[in-house]
Amino acid sequence: MYDKRLIYKDLKTNFMGQKIVILDNTDSTNLRIRAAAENREENGTLIIAENQSKGRGQIGTNWFSAPGESISMSLLVYPSNIKDYNLSVIPLAVGLAVSESLRYIVKKEFELKWPNDILLKSKKICGILCEKFTSQGKICMAIGIGINVNNKIIPQKLENRATSLLIAEKREFKRETIISQILNIFETLYYRLQSNNTPEEIINEYKSKCVSIGKNIKFIKNRQTFLGKIVDISLQGELIVKNEYGNYINLNSSKSIIGFLQN
C-alpha cells in the first residue's frame, strides 16, 4: 500500500498533488477524476489506485496494471489559463515529465513514442492517457499515467513489447518517489505552457527523445488508407507525415488511426 507521507515528503509543487486520494480498487482512475470534477475537487487533485478493473489505454485499448507493483494514477487539472492551441501539447509535456523523472531516478535514458508511450530499451514501460472534458462549465483534463515499476511478470502476450523497471534493472524502486518527481517536473512544464505563446521549447525537448520521427506508418484519414513517413512534430503536438504521394499531412492522435511499420 502507498504511504502518502512519502509522496508529500519529496513534493515541491504549488498545486499538483497537494490533495491525494488513494484507493485500493477502482474501475479507472480517469473515470474517478471525472467524478472528482463533478464534485468540484481542487486543481491538481491526484487519484492513485492499487488496482484498476477497467484501466484504459489509447484508442480504447486496455491497460494492464499489477496491484502493489505498478503505478496507476490520474491528475485533475483545470487548464483555463492555457491557450487552446497549447492544450494539445499537454500530453507531450506529461510524457517529458515522466521520462525525465525516470531518468533522474533510474539513471538511464528513456525514449518517447508518440503520442503516449515511454520506452526503456525499446520496450514500453509507461502509458499516458489525457482526456479533455467539460464539467460544471469548466474545461477539465484527466491525465492518466500507468507505469510498470516493480512488476515481476509481464503478461505473455506483452512480454516482447513491454517491461518493468524491476525486470530491466534487477532492483525495486519506491513508487512514492517516482510519483513525487513526476508531479514536480510536470508542474514546471505546465507553468511554461501557461506563460509561453508557443510551446516550441517543450516540443523541441520532446522531439529530442522521440523515436517516432523517421518511422514509416500506415494511417487512415478521411476514410482513406495511406502510407507515409513521420518527418516532424508540429507546435500543436501533431505528427507531420509525408505520405506516399509526397504530400505533407498533420495527424492528430484522437482523429487518425495510426500503425507504425517496420522500417
- Taking only the tens place, the pLDDT of each residue in 89-124 is 999 999 999 999 999 999 999 999 998 899 999 999
Report whether pLDDT(41) > 80.
yes
Percent of the chain with pLDDT over 90: 77
Q: How confident is the model at residue 60 (pLDDT cuts 50, 70, 90)?
A: very low
φ and ψ at residue 163, rounded to 5 degrees: -150, -175
The whole-number pLDDT of residue 65 equals 67
Report whether pLDDT(34) > 80.
yes
Tell me the pLDDT of the chain averaged across its residues: 91
Alpha-carbon gap, residue 179 to 22, rounded angstroms: 13
Mean pLDDT of 197-204: 88
Mean pLDDT of 6-10: 97
Alpha-carbon gap, residue 98 to 47, rounded angstroms: 17
Whether omega for the bond prior to residue 155 falls within 30 degrees of 0, making it cis, is: no
φ and ψ at residue 48, rounded to 5 degrees: -120, 140
The whole-number pLDDT of residue 55 equals 61
The whole-number pLDDT of residue 59 equals 43
- In one-letter notation, the amino acid at residue 2 is Y
Cell of 178: 517516482
Q: Write the DSSP symbol of residue 56.
A: B
- Which single residue is written with the C-alpha cell 510519483? 179
Alpha-carbon gap, residue 45 to 38, rounded angstroms: 13
Mean pLDDT of 202-223: 92
The CA distances from residue 100 to 110, 208, 241, in Å, are 8, 12, 27
Alpha-carbon gap, residue 46 to 76, rounded angstroms: 7
The whole-number pLDDT of residue 122 equals 93
Q: How confident is the model at residue 259 (pLDDT cuts 50, 70, 90)?
A: confident
- Per residue in 133-179, pLDDT tens? 999 999 999 999 999 999 999 988 888 999 999 999 999 999 999 99
Report whether pLDDT(232) > 90.
yes
The CA R_g of the chain, rounded to the nearest whole Å, is: 18
The whole-number pLDDT of residue 258 equals 64
- The DSSP line for 171-239 is S---HHHHHHHHHHHHHHHHHHHHH-SS-HHHHHHHHHHBS-TT-EEEEEETTEEEEEEEEEE-TTS-E
